[in-house]
Structure 1
Amino acid sequence: MSLHPTSPQERLEVLDQIRGFALLGILLANMAFFASPVVYIQMAGIDEWESLGDKLALWGIQFFAEAKFFTMFSFLFGLGFVLFMERAEAKGYSVLPLFTRRLVVLFIIGMIHAFFIWAGDILMLYSVLSFILLFFRRSSPKTLLAWAVGLWAVPVVVVTLLLAPGFGGEFSDPQWEQSAYHYIERSIAAYGSGTFLEITAQRMFDYLFMAINSIFVAPLVLAMFLTGLYVGKRRFYQQLHQHETLFRRIRLLSLCIGVPAALLQVYSHQQMLHTGLTLYQWLHFVSVCVAGPGLCFFYITSLLQLCRRQRWQRRLAYLAPVGRMALTNYLLQSIICTLLFYNYGLGLYNQVAPVWWVIIAAVLYPLQVCFSRIWLGHFRYGPAEWLWRSLTYWSWQPLKK
Structure 2
Amino acid sequence: MITSLAPERLQSIDMLRGVALLGILFMNIQSFSMPFETYINPTVYGDFSGVNQLVWIVSHLFADQKFMSVFSMLFGVGVIIFLQNLSQKRLSNRLHFIRMGWLLVFGLVHAYLLWYGDVLFSYALCGLFIYVVRNKATKTLIMLSVIFFTIPSLITFFFQSSLNFMPQVALEELQQSWTPSAELINNERHAYTAGWLEALPIRAEKALFLQTFLFMTNTFWRVSALMILGIILFRKRFFHLEWSANKYFTLAAVSTILGLALTGYGVHYNLSHQFTLAHSMFFGSQFNYWGSAIQATGYAAWVMLACKVMISENRLQRVDNTFTSELSKKLANVGRMAFTNYIMQTLFCTGIFYYLGLFGEASRLVQFSIAITIITVQLFMSDAWLRRYKMGPLEKLWRFLTYKSARSTLANTRCNHISSGNGKAKG
Does the aligned pair in 2 maintain the 1:4–1:393 contact within 8 Å?
Answer: yes
- Cα offset, 1:21, TM superposition: 0.5
Letter in 2 for 1:75: M
For the residue of structure 1 that corresponds to 2:79, the secondary structure is helix
Within the candidate set 377, 390, 410, 1:380 is matched to: 390
| Alignment match, 2:421 | none
Q: 2:253 is aligned with what amino acid?
A: L
TM-score of the superposition, structure 1-length normalised? 0.89
Q: 1:65 to 1:40 in 2, by over 3 A?
A: closer
Report how far residue 40 of structure 1 moved: 5.9
- After the TM superposition, which of the residue ranges 299-308 and 201-210 deviates more from structure 2? 201-210
> Structure 1 segments of 4 or more deviating over 6 A?
none
Residue 93 to residue 58, structure 1, CA distance change in 2 (3 Å) = same
In 1, the alpha carbon distance for the partners of 2:389 and 2:118 equals 26
Alpha-carbon offset, residue 122 of structure 1:
0.7
Q: Which residue matches 2:34? A: 36
Per-residue CA shift, 1:340-391, capped at 9, x if unaligned?
011xx20111000000111001111010011101101111110000000111
Question: Is contact 1:41–1:184 with CA below 8 Å preserved after alignment?
Answer: no
Task: Select which of 124, 132, 139 maps to 1:127.
Answer: 124
Residues 114, 346 of structure 2: 8 Å contact kept: yes
1:159 matched to which residue of 2?
A: 156
Report the TM-score when normalising by structure 2: 0.84
Task: Give the residue type in structure 1 aligned to 2:294.
Answer: G
Q: Conserved in 2, the CA contact under 8 Å of 1:40 and 1:183? A: no
State which of 220, 225, 228 in structure 2 corresponds to 1:226: 228
Corresponding residue of 2:237: 235
* CA separation of 1:47 and 1:337: change in aligned 2, threshold 3 A: closer
Indicate how the Cα distance of structure 1 residues 175 and 204 shifts in structure 2: closer, same or farther if over 3 A, else same: closer
Q: Judge conservation of contact 1:16–1:321 (CA < 8 Å) in 2.
A: yes
SS state at 1:309 partner: helix
**Contact 1:251–1:302 (CA under 8 A) maintained in structure 2:** yes
What residue in structure 2 maps to residue 77 of structure 1? 75
Q: 1:79 to 1:41 in 2, by over 3 A?
A: closer
Contact 2:18/2:332, CA 8 A, preserved across alignment: yes
Q: Per-residue displacement from partner, 1:319-351 (whole Å, max 9, x unpaired)?
A: 011000000000000011000011xx2011100
Please give the alpha-carbon distance, in whole angstroms, between the structure 2 residues aligned to 1:299 and 1:231. Answer: 13
**Does 1:118 pair with 2:115?**
yes
Q: Does 1:286 align with 2:286?
A: yes
Distance 1:56 1:91, change over 3 A: same
Cα drift, residue 223 of structure 1: 0.2
In structure 1, the residue matched to 2:339 is 327
Q: CA deviation at 1:255?
A: 2.0
Gap regions ≥5 residues in structure 2 = 317-322, 407-427
Q: Could you tell me which residue of structure 2 aligns to residue 216 of structure 1? A: 218
The 3-state SS of whatever aligns with 1:48 is coil
Q: Cα distance, 1:205 vs. partner?
A: 1.4
Q: What do the CA deviations read for 1:171-219 (whole angstroms, capped 9, x no partner)?
A: 9944444562243222111002x23211122211121133322322321
Structure 2 residue 114 is matched with structure 1 residue 108: no
The residue aligned with 1:399 is none
2:328 aligns with 316
Show the counterpart of 2:357: 347
Q: Find out whether 1:365 has 2:375 as its counterpart.
A: yes
Rounded to whole Å, the distance in 1 between the matches of 2:162 and 2:369 is 42
Query: Which secondary structure state, in structure 1, belongs to the residue aligned with residue 76 of structure 2?
Result: helix
2:266–2:288 Cα contact (<8 Å) kept: yes
Contact 2:34 2:45 in 1 (8 A): no
Secondary structure (helix, strand or coil) at the match of 1:347 reads coil
The 1:226–1:173 alpha-carbon spacing in structure 2 relative to 1, beyond 3 Å, is: same
1 CA distance for matches of 2:275 and 2:124? 38
Superposition RMSD on alpha carbons, in Å? 2.5
Give matches, 1:193-204, under 5 Å: 194-204=194-204
Q: Rg: which structure is higher?
A: 2
Q: Any residues of structure 2 matched to 1:264-283 within 5 Å, and which?
A: 264-272=265-273, 274=274, 276=276, 278-283=278-283
| 1:220–1:289 contact (8 Å) kept in structure 2 | no
> How far apart, in 1, do the equivalents of 2:275 and 2:368 lie?
28
- Offset at residue 243 of structure 1 (A): 4.2
What is the one-letter code of the residue matched to 1:288? N
Shift of the alpha carbon at 1:19? 0.5
Tell me the CA shift for residue 253 of structure 1. Answer: 2.6
Secondary structure in 1 aligned to 2:308? coil
**2:17 alignment partner in structure 1:** 19
Q: Which moved more, 1:178-187 or 1:225-234?
A: 178-187
CA deviation string 1:65-123 (max 9, x = no partner): 1111111111001111111111111111222x110000011011111111111111010
**Aligned pair partner of 1:145 in 136, 142, 145:** 142
* CA distance in 2 between partners of 1:330 and 1:199 (Å): 21
Q: How does 1:159-178 map to 2 (within 5 A)?
A: 159-164=156-161, 173-178=171-176
The answer to which of 384-393 and 248-257 deviates more is 248-257
Q: Distance in 2 between matches of 1:388 and 1:42?
A: 33
Q: Distance in 2 between matches of 1:85 and 1:58?
A: 40
| DSSP-derived class of the 1:318 partner | helix
Give the aligned partner of residue 63 of structure 1: 61
- Which residue identity is paired with 1:88? L
Query: Partner residue of 2:296?
Result: 296
Which amino acid in 2 is paired with 1:256? I
Aligned to 1:337: 349
